[in-house]
Amino acid sequence: MIAGLSKAFNLYLAPVLSLTAFILILFSYLAPVILFPDQVALLTVSPSEGNDGPSVFLGALGSCERSNHDATVTCTPPTVSPTYDLSVLPSNTPDLLSAPTATTPAFIAVSLAFTIIFFFLFTMTSFRGKMGKFGNVFDKPAIQRTTAWIGLLGFLIGITSFLVIRMWFGKAVEDFNRDITEDGSGAPQLVASTSNGFIMVWVGFAFYAVPVVCSLAKLHVAAGKA
C-alpha cells in the first residue's frame, strides 16, 4: 500500500504541484499591471479604515492606481525596471515607495523559465514508463541530473529574488507608516502594507519544493544504484 501511494504521489501529485506552483508564482509576478490590477499586489497603499481615497497597488513589473474606491484602475506599462506612478497620492504623502533593483524582476523571469522547463522535464521523467520507447530518453542519468539541477536553480533563484523584494517592500512599508504617524493629523489618511501577492508566492514555493525534493531523491537513488 505504501509503495502504491508513493508511486501515485510521484506520478500524479508531484507534477500537479509543480504546475500549480508555476501558476501561483507567475500570477504574483504579473500582478497587478497585467493580471488582477486591484486584487493582487505585493504592496498596497490604501485609505485607512472608514475612509475613501486613493489607492496604489505595486508589483514586480509596475503599479496600478485609482483615485477612489469607485474610480477606474489605471496601470503603468509592465517592465523589469519599473518606475511606480504615485501621482494619485496627495502631495504631502511620504516619498518612500520605490521599486527594487532592476535585476530582481529579471531574475524572477529567469526563475519562471527554469520552473516551466522543470515542470515539463519532471512530468516526462515521471511518466516515462507509460511513453514506450520514447520514454527511454528520460531514463538516462544525464536527463535526471539536468531535471534536478534546473528545478533546484529555479527554486533558489526565485525564492531569493522574492525575499529581496519582500525585505525591500517591508522596509518601505515600515518607513511609510512611521512617517504618516509622525506627521499626525495633517498627514494623509493612508496605510501601506505588504499584500496577498506574497502569500501566493510563499504557497507557490512550498508546492514547488515538493517536486524538487522528489527529483533530487530520484537522483540520489540512481546514484546509489550506479
What is residue 204's predicted lDDT score, i.e. its pLDDT? Answer: 97
Cβ burial, residue 135 (10 Å; 0-12/13-18/19+): middle
What is residue 14's predicted lDDT score, i.e. its pLDDT? Answer: 85
Which residues, listed in sequence order, are joined to residue 66 by a DSSP beta bridge? 55
Global pTM? 0.89
The three-class DSSP label of residue 43 is strand
pLDDT of residue 12 exceeding 70, the answer is no
Q: Which residue range(s) make up the domain with 163?
A: 2-225
Torsion of CA 110, 114, 207, 20, to 10 degrees: 90
CATH number at residue 128: 1.20.140.150
Q: What integer is the mean pLDDT of 22-50?
A: 93
Summarize pLDDT for 129-170 with one digit per residue, the tens. Answer: 666 666 666 677 788 889 999 999 999 999 999 999 999 999
What is residue 145's predicted lDDT score, i.e. its pLDDT? Answer: 87
Instruction: Quote the number of domains for the chain.
Output: 1
Using pLDDT thresholds of 50, 70 and 90, give the confidence band for residue 25.
very high
Q: What integer is the mean pLDDT of 90-119?
A: 88
What is residue 196's predicted lDDT score, i.e. its pLDDT? Answer: 94
pLDDT of residue 223 exceeding 60, the answer is no
Compute the distance between CA of residue 95 and CA of residue 201 in angstroms, rounded to an integer: 27
| Cα→Cα distances 77→9, 27, 72, 106, 195, Å | 41, 16, 16, 16, 21
Amino acid at 115: T
Question: Taking Cα atoms as reference points, which of 15, 8, 1, 28 lies closest to residue 210?
Answer: 15
